[in-house]
Amino acid sequence: MARRVEQAVILAGGEGTRLRPLTSTRPKPLLPVLGVPCIEYVIRAMAAAGVKHIFLACGYRSEDVRNALGGGDRFGVELELACEREPMGTAGAVKLLEDRLDGTFVVGSGDTMMDAELGPLIDFHLRRGAEATIGLTEVERPEQFGIVGVSAEGRVERFKEKPRPE
């Protein structure tokens, strides 16, 4: 299937307070993993899936993000900062861009590592004609993250954020 998703939003506005002092001098998405800022892995995955224009929803130390990543030429994409005046959370950051986003788009977190290709997930989304699609993975200790309950058809039925062990 031809991929028709060319826009994305990367959430990169949090202060990363739980990682201080590492985030006292740089935003969490710029913390290095194997010598490369974490956010670069997300940008490269999006570029490999055909995304051409990525909005970086920034807040904390947004100039550091701009200086580290530039305009996106080295990734083969256009990067554009969308700065929040005050933290708006995940949905708020996307809402900030609602007039700039056309049709289907991808949302990712600038501080998340993943080893999956986005292309097949985008294809799945387009085939299903869904309003939204979320990529999930199983982890050994979900109480550190959260649990998503899905139906046999793969539809999300519930979320439980950081549940207590039973």
pLDDT digits 0-9 by tens, 2-25 = 557 889 999 887 776 676 776 678
Does 58 lie in the same domain as 29?
yes
Burial of 111 (0-12, 13-18, 19+ CB in 10 A): buried
Does 148 lie in the same domain as 89?
no
Q: Assign residue 105 the CATH number of its domain.
A: 3.90.550.10
pLDDT digits 0-9 by tens, 54-113 = 999 988 788 888 999 989 999 999 999 888 777 777 788 888 888 899 888 999 988 887
30-36 own/partner pairs: CB under 8 Å, 24+ apart = 30/64, 30/65, 30/68, 31/111, 33/113
Residue 11 belongs to domain spanning: 7-130
Q: How far is 115 from 46, CA to CA, in rounded Å?
A: 12
Q: Is 31 part of a structural domain of the chain?
A: yes
Does 84 lie in the same domain as 15?
yes
- Predicted pLDDT at 2: 52
Mean pLDDT of 100-127: 87
- Predicted pLDDT at 165: 64
- As annotated, the active-site residues are 162
| Whether the predicted pLDDT of 148 surpasses 60 | yes
Does 145 lie in the same domain as 112?
no
Does 36 lie in the same domain as 92?
yes
Q: Are 136 and 145 in contact (CB under 8 A)?
A: no
CA atoms within 13 A on the CB side of 23: 19
Does 92 lie in the same domain as 48?
yes
Q: pTM of the entire structure?
A: 0.84
Structural domain count, the chain = 2
Structure tokens at 165: 């062990």
